Amino acid sequence: MRGDELRSRYAAAFMPNYGVPPVALARGEGCRVWDADGRAYLDLIAGIAVSSLGHGHPALIEAVSAQAAALAHTSNLFLHEPEVLLAERLRELLDGDGRVFLANSGTEANECALKLAIKYGRANGRSHIVAAENSFHGRTLGALALTGKQAIREPFGPYGIDVRFVPYGDADALAAAVDEHCAAVFLEPTQGEAGVVPPPDGYFAAVRRICDATGALFVADEIQSAIGRTGAWFAWRHENARPDVLTLAKGLGGGLPIGACVALGEHGEIFAKGDHGSTFGGNPVNAAAALAVLATIEKEGLLGNAAQVGEVLAAGIAAVDHPLLAGVRGRGLWRAAVLTGPHAPAAEAAARDAGFLVNAVQPDALRLAPPLILTAAEAESFTGALPSILDAAAAAAKES
């Protein structure tokens, strides 16, 4: 089916919350995808930091196929080997600590963390939660209560949860908001949906100290940043600011829907039987996919590749001299090309026309979150094309 026909049928069949996506993808291999009309693109989005191993990786295909043939679903009434192995592997990556809850998405992982925080708070006389302005923690009502992006938060409130927002990266403002009445602090190591915005150096270490001093839980939302995206298994490792609760998703399943909430130390005992659950969470096929992702990242040295190729990508962007380009920020293979004005939608379209898929995550920022297998040559193919992409965006702006 051709792309124009697919888009027309999509528009008629789906709710309008996404609009109609501009490209109908049909297949992928490595870091490349092809649309329904046969046109190829270098995928620098990876399903929003999801397709860690790229497209069609043999390890993922083998794991998913074998598990689907053996046992595809059990519910939470029964256990199975892949979920146990996955929980144990996550514990290994966390130095042997943690209790795991497996969910289906990032927002569900954050819902689990929120329920943990609420139960912890009620047991200890703590009444409010602190989060960051411009943060993003998910679209369900609990996760949305934690989300500091007003445009998506306000239409669906009030939420019935006392969440207080502070400027991201401001340790003094955080310290003023976190006291003995605070149950938890929810923060992203870098704000992804805000435009891949990192905090100042030392911020996460300061968060750890503030939570230690007050007894508030430190919840690190690593939905986008973990599983090698920044060149480490977890972004908190860069400052050794170990959280009390960690949420994961996106890159963990390599394209299969899975999320995890891991409570560390004594906090792994907060929930009692019946406090939380999920019919599909820990699904055998998705757990097998996650195990394959973790094993392949280690086997193929993809943490190092993310760090090294990420530097190639960042250096290539920084070397571009163009009036629309202000700079680059981020870490590993999680970057934003920062623009001088609201040119990102036009630049995204121009990149697509040039054969590159990027994401206008903010009006002035293009998000790049490619597969962890991206090569230096592939990164350089994009940075080499960036001047002409920005020229096309500038021309489109003049025409409009």
Output the six-digit token pair for 337.
Answer: 């090309």
Q: Is the pTM of this model over 0.75?
A: yes
pLDDT of residue 398: 80
**Model confidence pLDDT, tens digit, residues 325-358:** 999 999 999 999 999 999 999 999 999 999 999 9
Look at residue 374 and give its three-state secondary structure: coil
What are the two backbone dihedrals, phi and then psi, of residue 43, each rounded to the nearest 5 degrees?
-85, 105
What mean pLDDT value characterizes the chain? 97
* Whether 136 is catalytic: yes
**Model confidence pLDDT, tens digit, residues 281-308:** 999 999 999 999 999 999 999 999 999 9
Q: 279 labelled as ligand-binding?
A: yes
Among 35, 101, 218, 250, which one carries the catalytic annotation? 250
Output the six-digit token pair for 291.
Answer: 């195990």
Q: 224 labelled as ligand-binding?
A: yes
pLDDT of residue 21: 96
- Beta bridge mates, 42: 32, 356
Residues 335, 340, 342, 344: is their CA dihedral positive or negative?
negative
Among 35, 221, 244, 364, which one carries the catalytic annotation? 221
pLDDT of residue 261: 98
> For residue 278, is pLDDT > 90?
yes
**Model confidence pLDDT, tens digit, residues 348-390:** 999 999 999 999 999 999 999 999 999 999 999 999 999 999 9
What are the two backbone dihedrals, phi and then psi, of residue 224, each rounded to the nearest 5 degrees?
-95, -35
User: Which has the closest alpha carbon to 98: 281, 287, 270, 289?
Assistant: 270
- Beta bridge mates, 130: 164, 185
Vertex 331, ends 329 and 337: CA angle to 5°? 30
Output the six-digit token pair for 387.
Answer: 């001047």
User: Which has the closest alpha carbon to 163: 194, 116, 131?
Assistant: 131
- Beta bridge mates, 40: 34
pLDDT band at 80 (very low <50, low <70, confident <90, very high): very high
More confident residue, 399 or 178: 178
Instruction: Report the share of the chain in percent with pLDDT over 70.
Output: 100
pLDDT band at 397 (very low <50, low <70, confident <90, very high): confident
**Model confidence pLDDT, tens digit, residues 257-273:** 999 999 999 999 999 99
**Model confidence pLDDT, tens digit, residues 30-42:** 999 999 999 999 9
Q: 107 labelled as ligand-binding?
A: yes
* Whether 119 is catalytic: no
pLDDT of residue 399: 77
Q: What is the mean pLDDT of residues 155-172?
A: 96
> For residue 400, is pLDDT > 80?
no
Query: What is the layout of strands, in order, in the sheet containing 356-357?
Result: 25-29, 32-35, 40-43, 356-357
Q: 139 labelled as ligand-binding?
A: yes
Q: 105 labelled as ligand-binding?
A: no
Q: 221 labelled as ligand-binding?
A: yes
pLDDT of residue 221: 98
Residue given tokens 């938890």 in the structure block:
184
* Whether 271 is catalytic: no
Among 136, 165, 271, 382, which one carries the catalytic annotation? 136
